[in-house]
């Protein structure tokens, strides 16, 4: 994660939040999933005074997947990512953070929406790629 301060901060905060809930956080890539052995290799967040990421292997049965791949990574590893997503679906592993429309598209939708002073838009639940654009209009 060196050289990517925003990514490092995001994962550190997610790791600490997970630790506060009594859960472990493992960072990995699609290439580190062994579907044959039903294991995942990665780097486990170890909370404490100093941030530590330790190499670790966990059983797939213990996993919930949060897809935090950046666009550059998705472009670089398109084939591996598609295969990984297909295999994740077959294994019935919980998965969230679907790919959403581009930020500029959402911004244009929000920019056109009129908000009265002091009024907060309603919270939308179960947002997905099909309804996110409709919500912003």
Q: Indicate the domain borders of the chain.
A: 5-96, 103-136
What is the predicted pLDDT for the residue at 57? 93
- Residue 66 makes CB contacts below 8 A (sequence gap 6+) with 14, 96, 97
Q: What is the DSSP secondary-structure string of 112-131?
A: HS---TT--PPPP-S--TTT
Computed over every residue of the chain, the mean pLDDT equals 77
Question: In 1-137, which ranges are E strands?
Answer: 26-27, 33-34, 39-46, 52-59, 65-66, 95-96
Confidence of residue 1 (pLDDT cuts 50, 70, 90): very low
| Residues 104-128 pLDDT 10s | 777 677 667 666 655 556 666 677 7
pLDDT, mean of residues 21-42: 86
* Largest pairwise CA distance in the chain: 56
Contact 133, 109 (CB under 8 A): yes
């Amino acid at each position: 994660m060196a050289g990517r301060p925003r990514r490092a901060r995001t994962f550190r905060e997610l790791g600490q939040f997970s630790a506060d809930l009594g859960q472990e956080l493992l960072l990995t890539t699609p290439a580190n999933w062994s579907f044959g052995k039903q294991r995942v290799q990665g780097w486990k967040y170890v909370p404490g005074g100093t941030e530590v990421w330790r190499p670790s292997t966990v059983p797939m049965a213990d996993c919930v997947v949060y897809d935090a791949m950046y666009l550059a990574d998705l472009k670089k590893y398109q084939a591996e990512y598609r295969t990984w997503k297909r295999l994740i679906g077959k294994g019935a592993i919980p998965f969230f953070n679907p790919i959403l429309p581009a930020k500029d598209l959402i911004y244009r939708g929000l920019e056109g929406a009129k908000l009265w002073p002091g009024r907060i838009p309603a919270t939308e639940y179960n947002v997905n790629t099909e309804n996110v654009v409709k919500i912003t209009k």
